[in-house]
């Protein structure tokens, strides 16, 4: 480098240097070139130092994350519940602090923790009642903490979207998941009896045969969710959104769907006995073969709804204008007041 600084000008700008005139002023040119070479060298050195510093920072940060991860895993295995909760919170912090592979790995560990700690759902309710160890009415504190950490919106944004939340077949009765993000989650066969899922997002979630009896689902988002055979008896679903949801053969006995949006939802063969569908939107919904005994349809929108082979004979607050806008056939049973004295249907 000293040689470059000393002899560089005579090589780089040799054509502009007059050996005979160096003493008269060309020396200034040499000095300027030497200064430029020094500045360039300094800048290059600073750039190399910056790259090295950045690499060192990444390695140090990765080591810190690994250390935090290891300590959190040790806590999760503790017999003390408060230590396990500390481990869950530590992993949640990793998820939120590291929007990279570490966040997905931490979420995967939390998912395994929930599946290991939460009891399995009983496939037969009678078996649960007869068991000497009845299933709990709410998750243990460490399981609840892990569920909360896994379903926070700010946490899910850092996790690889391909990492699907797997809660299949778990007993999660009484879980508190208000505002949770369960987009694309797999809850097939899970028990969420009396759970609070108000304002939760369950878009495209798999809830096949899941039990949500008595669950709080106020303003929950179920767009394109798979709810085939799901049990929603007595569920509170004020203003819930079930656009394009598949509720085939689902049980919604006594469910409160006031002002719910069921546009293009599939309710074929569903049981809606005594359900409240007041002010609900059922535009283009499929209700063929649905059980609608004593269902309340006050001011519900039935535009282009498929009511073929549906029994509405005991439906409450149903008016002819609603039926006129829906699709019916000769197998559609309407309230007695809809028929003329001859017994012929007043609605074609």
pLDDT at residue number 343: 45
Confidence of residue 345 (pLDDT cuts 50, 70, 90): very low
Statement: residue 22 has pLDDT above 90: no
Percent of the chain, pLDDT > 70? 80
CA 317, CA 280: separation in Å to the nearest integer?
13
Looking at the whole model, is its pTM more than 0.85? no
**Cβ(179)–Cβ(153) below 8 Å:** yes
User: Are the C-beta atoms of 194 and 175 separated by less than 8 Å?
Assistant: no
* Mean pLDDT of the 142-171 span: 91
Quick count: other Cβ atoms within 10 Å of Cβ 257?
Answer: 28
Q: What is the per-residue burial (b if ≥16 Cβ within 10 Å, else e) of 202-217?
A: bbbbbbbbbbbbbbbb
**Which has the minimum average pLDDT: 15-29, 67-81, 105-119?**
15-29
Among candidates 232, 251, 336, which has minimal Cα distance to 291? 251
296-326 tens-digit pLDDT: 999 999 999 999 999 999 999 999 999 999 9
Measured at the alpha carbon of residue 176, what is the angle toward residues 208 and 88, in degrees to the nearest 5? 100
DSSP 3-state of 237? coil
Nearest to 294 by CA among 320, 311, 279, 273: 273
pLDDT at 176: 97
Query: Cα 117 to chain center, whole Å?
Result: 21
Query: With bands split at pLDDT 50, 70 and 90, how would you rate the model's confidence at 62?
Result: low
Mean predicted confidence (pLDDT) in 181-188: 97
The pLDDT value recorded for residue 126 is: 52
Region for 226 from its dihedrals, namely left if φ exceeds 0, alpha if ψ lies in -120 to 50, beta otherwise: beta
The pLDDT of residue 10: 56
Nearest to 61 by CA among 111, 101, 104, 108: 101
Q: Which tens digit of pLDDT belongs to each residue from 90-142?
A: 998 888 877 667 888 889 999 999 999 999 998 655 555 555 678 999 999 99
DSSP 203-232: TT-B-TT-B-TT-B-TT-B-TT-B-TT-B-
Smallest Cα–Cα separation from 253: which of 270, 269, 238?
Answer: 270
Question: Residue 154: its pLDDT value, please?
Answer: 85
Q: pLDDT (tens digit, 9 = 90+) per residue, 248-263? A: 999 999 999 999 999 9
- For residue 296, the SS3 value is strand
- Candidates 191, 171, 192, 174; CA nearest to 138 is 174
Q: Has residue 213 got a pLDDT over 60?
A: yes
């Amino acid at each position: 480098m000293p040689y470059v600084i000393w002899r560089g000008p005579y090589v780089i700008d040799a054509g502009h240097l007059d050996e005979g005139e160096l003493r008269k002023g060309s020396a200034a040119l040499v000095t300027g070139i030497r200064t430029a070479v020094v500045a360039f060298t300094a800048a290059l050195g600073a750039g190399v130092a910056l790259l090295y510093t950045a690499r060192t920072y990444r390695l140090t940060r990765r080591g810190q994350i690994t250390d935090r991860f290891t300590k959190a895993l040790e806590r999760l295995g503790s017999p003390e519940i408060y230590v396990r909760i500390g481990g869950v919170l530590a992993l949640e912090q990793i998820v939120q602090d590291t929007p990279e592979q570490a966040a997905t790995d931490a979420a995967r560990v939390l998912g395994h923790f929930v599946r290991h700690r939460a009891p399995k759902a009983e496939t037969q309710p009678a078996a649960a009642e007869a068991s000497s160890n009845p299933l709990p009415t709410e998750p243990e504190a460490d399981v609840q903490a892990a569920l909360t950490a896994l379903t926070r919106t700010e946490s899910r944004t850092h996790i690889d979207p391909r990492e699907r939340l797997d809660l299949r077949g778990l007993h999660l009765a009484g879980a508190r998941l208000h505002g949770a993000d369960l987009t694309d989650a797999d809850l097939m066969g899970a028990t969420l009896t009396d759970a609070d899922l108000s304002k939760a997002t369950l878009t495209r979630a798999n809830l096949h045969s899941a039990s949500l009896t008595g669950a709080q689902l106020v303003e929950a988002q179920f767009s394109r969710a798979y709810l085939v055979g799901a049990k929603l008896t007595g569920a509170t679903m004020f203003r819930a959104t079930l656009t394009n949801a598949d509720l085939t053969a689902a049980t919604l006995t006594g469910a409160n769907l006031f002002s719910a949006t069921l546009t293009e939802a599939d309710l074929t063969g569903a049981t809606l006995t005594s359900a409240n569908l007041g002010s609900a939107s059922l535009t283009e919904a499929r209700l063929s073969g649905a059980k609608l005994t004593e269902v309340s349809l006050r001011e519900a929108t039935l535009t282009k709804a498929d009511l073929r082979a549906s029994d509405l004979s005991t439906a409450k607050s149903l008016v002819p204008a609603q039926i006129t806008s829906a699709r019916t056939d000769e197998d559609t049973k309407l309230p007695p007041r809809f028929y003329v004295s001859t017994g012929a249907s007043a609605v074609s």
